Chain A
Amino acid sequence: MNNDTMVCAEEVRKSFGRLEVLRGISLEVRPSEVLCLLGPSGSGKSTFLRCINHLETIDGGRLYVDGELVGYRQSGDKLYELRDSEVARKRAEIGMVFQRFNLFPHMTALENVAEAPVRVGGQHRNEARTAARELLGMVGLADKENVYPAQLSGGQQQRVAIARALAMKPKLMLFDEPTSALDPELVGEVLDVMRRLAQEGMTMIVVTHEVGFAREVADTAVFMDRGVVVESGTPAELFAAPRHERTRAFLSKVL
């Protein structure tokens, strides 16, 4: 394993009961790299993403974030499971954005963003709120800080969710189909925020169907199907000259 990788997966395997969802995924993400995961539904891309912050446990292989094993500690050749609190501490360093936003409906936009820095980061309440205000401004929602999620549009909710994830100053951001639940005209505003984040040098793994976004922003595009990486490369290579028949078939449908 190279020390200069943010995420390193070696032969990662995962099954749900008898269904093998991940059948040996190996890939690397360098710091400041934007990696887009593409593929048909059921190909295991979302599951792989959720393994990275240990929302799902893996059954085989090794998964490292910033040089450390995800969910385990290795001592000699033995693996020890991490405690709940240790897992939580590591998750705090990884931001995640969900397809269905998952904002906390009983909190205002500002409270959503400031919650984790106070409870998890141990920040002072006022300090966290100031920082949260700044983040809401960054995603273009400075005027919505006292609004509850139910009163926001899908695109606005997803932008609050991005601000909420950024509030913990993560070293890695995971996006799980962030625009799939949005009305078409709201997709752009969310992608704009993500594009800006990529330009600022954030390391990002994005599961998406937005080929246009992948082509423009991604450093690496990875095509997955039935639990394996079929091929990967720069977006230019992958989209212009796919080497595999399955990639070609998929791209011909989404392009």
Chain B
Amino acid sequence: MTPVPTGRPAEIEAVPVRHPGRWVAGAVVLLLVTIAVHSVATNPRFGWGTFGDFFFDRRILHGVVVTIELTVISMVIGIILGVLLAVMRLSPNPLVAASSWTYVWLFRGTPVLVQILFWSFISALYPRISFGVPFGGPELLHGNANAVITPFVAAILALGLNEGAYMAEIVRAGIISVDEGQTEAAHALGMTRLQTMRRIVLPQAMRVIIPPTGNETISMLKTTSLVSVIAYSELLYSAQLIYSVNYRQIPLLLVASAWYLIMTTVLSIGQYYIERRYSRGASRNLPDTPLQRLRRTVFSFRHASVPGASGEGR
């Protein structure tokens, strides 16, 4: 080792390690993808023409809107119910806590498809629905169950009540994750249990609650397709209605799948940015967004092609 006269060691200019294995693996993947794409594009049975004809069909678009409606309303019900159930579960009153536990046990323990069917057949159980004083007291409101519980209401009830059970567990995990010292500090300042929950614990629990809630929303979007069994015209059922007439099942299922993919992709992107926002305060350095990463990769490639520069994209 000869010391550099300036007193500062020279910049490192090393030959990077070669990775022939990576090139081989890349070539194999590329080949397989080419085969798959070629097969999908040239197999006439996929019916890409029909796919194009129906992609923006009025009935399909209506199904997309209904699917979004079902997802949003069910998630809102699920989240409100979940917070309520989670707070109940942590109540010092054993009866309140037990009723929350029982709810979760029942709605998480039976398939959501069965629950959807149950709600749609509710009129067999209670032909007349009324609100009033129980045990023979006066009635305030009443109606025929078949008129009140439309397929839409049955779908919302089934999906929302089922989601509430899952959200309850997510919210509970979030609440438990908040340090006990926070509750103590709030109590020591004279805040009541309710104030402490609302002002101190829940806002901090959000960081733990948000990511799985995003997953639940994406999952809900796909679960709405189960509502097709009670003949409610969401996206899948709309596609089914069309192919029951023209018998082009494959292209129409592809149309539905493509729309589901588009919607889940949009939700995933939204989820990414919401999570990033809520990780503020937890970590000082935020990870790059995909766009920033792409820009940096391109930049570093350009750099690597300059002779003498060393540096390989991570």
Q: Which residues of A contact B (CB under 8 A)?
A: 53, 55, 84-85, 88-96, 98, 100, 102-106, 115-116, 119-120, 148, 150, 161, 164-165, 168
Contacts and interface: CB of A to CB of B under 8 A. Distances in A.
Contacts of B199: 115, 119
B310 interface: no
B200 A104 contact: yes
Interface string B213-248: 000000000000000000000000000000000000
A116 B190 CA distance: 7
Contacts of A161: 185
Contacts, number: 66
Contact of B189 (A100, A105, A106, A168): A168
Given A98-B181, A119-B195, A168 B200 contact: no
A55 B184 contact: yes
Contact of A88 (B185, B192, B203): B192
B200 to A, nearest CB: 6
A88 B191 contact: yes
B182 A120 contact: no
Contacts of A164: 189
B5 interface: no
**B: contact size bracket:** 20 to 34
A92 B190 contact: yes
A96 B200 CA distance: 17
Nearest to B184: A55
Interface in B190-210: 190-193, 195, 199-200, 203-204
What 4 A-B pairs are tightest by C-beta distance, nearest first?
A92-B190, A102-B185, A116-B189, A96-B188
B189 A91 contact: yes
Contacts of A115: 189, 199
Contact of B188 (A84, A89, A91, A106): A91
B307 interface: no
B187 A105 contact: no
Nearest to A85: B192
Nearest to B193: A84
Nearest to A150: B281
A46 to B, nearest CB: 12
A132 B186 CA distance: 17
A105 B182 CA distance: 9
Contacts of A106: 203-204, 281
Interface in B5-50: none
A119 B179 CA distance: 21
Nearest to A106: B203
A171 to B, nearest CB: 13
Given A98-B184, A104-B200, A89 B190 contact: yes
8 contacts: A88-B187, A93-B190, A98-B185, A104-B182, A106-B281, A119-B191, A119-B195, A120-B191
Contacts of B186: 104
Given A116-B191, A120-B190, A102 B281 contact: no
A91 B281 contact: no
Contacts of B193: 84
A100 to B, nearest CB: 6
